[in-house]
Structure 1
């Protein structure tokens, strides 16, 4: 009876319903298989099912900075006073004109394991950030490298220890988590939600043996892997890509690990300009991703938009057809089910990753972020290559 009633509907409504249900199935797969990966992995961590190395190898922490004297004042003590047996901190100062050199000199007198050098102001490179990292890697004394941005800070003195514990046999790359210190307001909700979803994406895919990016705010790899890949040689023509394109070059199914423990999360203060800069960088490098990764990300975006558009259109058409109220109610129930699933997964992931939690705003933010991405693809990226991008 139910099926017969459905088959009597207009063919356009049937096609719309098919698109709607197929999009729901694909979305459910992405959320339960990929994006809930943070939740599954956290359970494994608490059960002790994740293998970690016991021996603590010496580590070189790399920081690249440009006119960030104030940020260095805040960051250096949290890094230099980490509870770890043997490590050095390498800072590359990219031609700063503020008091960065004075700050570094002062800390170098107090901490003998701090080494700093510089990149001349007049040096011409497509990406000064990549050149700074290359200089730092060559200056590093140790094979295990841990990178953090100057405007970030680890929230624990166990950051080095818990990141490096993932360098077990055959592991050469550790993908960490970067978060924003939460503040009030819709704009800050957008930033935190976008960062949370982005983290769930790249961590989730890495856990499913499809690593495609990390964050320059918190990532570790071996010097051997960097040199074997000849640094950033494959993307020297790109202004960006020091984390995502590099990960695509180096990462394999076997050599990559992730770390999501609360002690390893690195925080950055909320800054809309830096956020937009990050978004533009991601948009500019995505076309260089491997085909399989591009298809996975595109399918999620496509089915997300199809689900929203077809769901709204389907309910409108059904409500305008007498006797179809039950079908409209079912469509509404499917929409509610997806957002319930999404809300639960986001809430649990936000708790684990120490991000901001907001059930109701998920719906609004899911609509706003594609619009923001569309803006960046069109007007937002005009003239970006002329800028000096650092974040």
Structure 2
């Protein structure tokens, strides 16, 4: 079999795999309308774990305090901060009766482990329904809690939301970060719709306290410093107990990294936990990312060595499916400005993920500090 034949067959296979994935994403999530459910009286505990976040807390806490919601508390967890985070928390606590504070001291056995601090915050929460966000996140509306809590039910004990990043004009890095966030959301929302939930993001998610303790909390992966959100969800989420919330009033928004290196290191930490996912999730996600990389590599080789119009048809077909799928998702998640850049961002993201994978093979990424 000649090299050109091998390349042609391989390209057909890769495009078929990619088309299959994106069509599954398209029909499970991208074309579905969001379902708005509001509850205002379900007792909630909003848990925010912060380490050296004094400035971010000053900006984000008022947006949470001012939620139009009837029954909620805010549990602030100071994770051994070295700045004035604790003082900022105490100041807010003195002014608002529904704020409680957990001050986590240095613990040699759990040094630098956010899961230890979060566990103490969860124990301190008065309510069974817990909502999680980060110190640098702000809800986009005063109905954030009402939207999230509306998806809890007798059967649904986990709610996965969307944590967006703020937009910055004329910044390719900003678009790349938001595109990666968009693609991640497309996948975990779609997988949940398909009955195989595998992760959530700590910037915007919720679950029941009862679920946490019935599954021994973070015990199975306490030794892993990252993964307080995705590893826990990967462990406990099922097709029956997990709901998704993507109404536009349910989003949170935070500031993205300002340099490529900072974002690169952040993604190294995030991706390092994927090796601990359930086997079926690792297979599905691995096949998707591998087919993404091979699509661009084999496409380049085919354009160089094969003079056949079918190559261009296959290439453009995959790009069109990608644009349609991400375009519909962008409209749902308020990221429409990314649509026109989709092919370029897809290529940049694939290259970045390849280098992240190589970097993680060489050395371990740094964690919560």
Match of 2:358 in 1: 378
Which residues of 2 match residues 54-93 of structure 1 at below 5 A?
Answer: 56-93=41-78
Instruction: Find the counterpart in structure 1 of residue 14 from structure 2.
Output: 23
Mark the CA change 1:54 to 1:63 in structure 2 (over 3 Å): closer, same or farther.
closer
The residue that corresponds to 1:103 in the other structure is: 88
Aligned mate of 2:31, from 40, 43, 48 = 40
Q: 1:330 aligns with which of 296, 304, 310?
A: 310
CA distance in structure 2 between the partners assigned to 1:383 and 1:330 by the alignment: 42
CA distance in structure 2 between the partners assigned to 1:124 and 1:74 by the alignment: 32
1:299 to 287, 300, 303: 287
CA distance in 1, matches of 2:325, 2:152: 28
Shift of 1:384: 4.3
**1:260 and 2:246 matched:** yes
Aligned counterpart for 1:204 among listed residues 190, 194, 211? 190
Tell me the CA shift for residue 129 of structure 1: 0.9
Q: Distance in 2 between matches of 1:341 and 1:89?
A: 43
Q: Which runs of 5+ in 1 are unaligned?
A: 1-9, 320-327
- Distance in 1 (alpha carbons) for counterparts of 2:46 and 2:184: 25
Q: Which residue of 1 aligns with 2:219?
A: 233
CA change 1:123–1:111 in 2 (3 A) is farther
Corresponding position: 1:143 with 2:125: no
Check the 8 A contact 2:40/2:69 in 1, yes or no: no
2 CA distance for matches of 1:276 and 1:14?
Answer: 37
**1:290-317 alpha-carbon deviations (Å, 9 max, x no partner):** 1111110111122222322223323333
What's the offset of the Cα at 1:128? 2.5
Q: 2:203 aligns with which of 214, 217, 223?
A: 217
- Alignment partners' CA distance in 2, 1:360 and 1:180: 18
Aligned partners of 2:40 and 2:70 also within 8 Å: no
CA 1:388/1:287 → structure 2, altered by over 3 Å: closer, same or farther? closer
**Superposed displacement of residue 112, structure 1:** 0.4
Indicate how the Cα distance of structure 1 residues 211 and 127 shifts in structure 2: closer, same or farther if over 3 A, else same.
farther
Shift of 1:371: 2.6
Contact 2:292 2:350 in 1 (8 A): no
Moved over 4 A (4+): 52-55, 380-385
Give the structure 1 partner of residue 104 of structure 2: 119
Q: Which residue of 1 aligns with 2:165?
A: 180
Larger of the two Rg values belongs to structure: 1
Among residues 270, 279, 303, which one is paired with 1:315 in the alignment? Answer: 303
| Partners of 2:40 and 2:203 in 1: CA distance | 25
**Is 1:350 aligned to 2:330, yes or no?**
yes
Write the distance in 1 (CA, Å) between the matches of 2:189 and 2:78. 30
Taking structure 1 as reference, are residues 347 and 334 closer, same or farther at Cα in structure 2, changes over 3 Å only? Answer: same
1:368 partnered with 2:367: no
TM-score, reference length from structure 1: 0.87
Distance 1:37 1:88, change over 3 A: same
Q: Which residue of structure 2 lines up, in the alignment, with residue 195 of structure 1?
A: 181
After superposition, the CA RMSD in angstroms is 2.1
Q: Secondary structure of 2:225's match?
A: coil
Structure 1 residue 123, shift from structure 2 partner:
4.6
SS of 2:101's partner is: strand
In structure 2, runs of 5+ residues without a counterpart are: none
| Cα deviation digits, residues 105-130 of structure 1 (max 9, x gap) | 22112210011121113554055210
Q: Is the 8 A contact 1:178 1:215 kept in 2?
A: yes
Q: Is the 8 A contact 1:36 1:200 kept in 2?
A: no
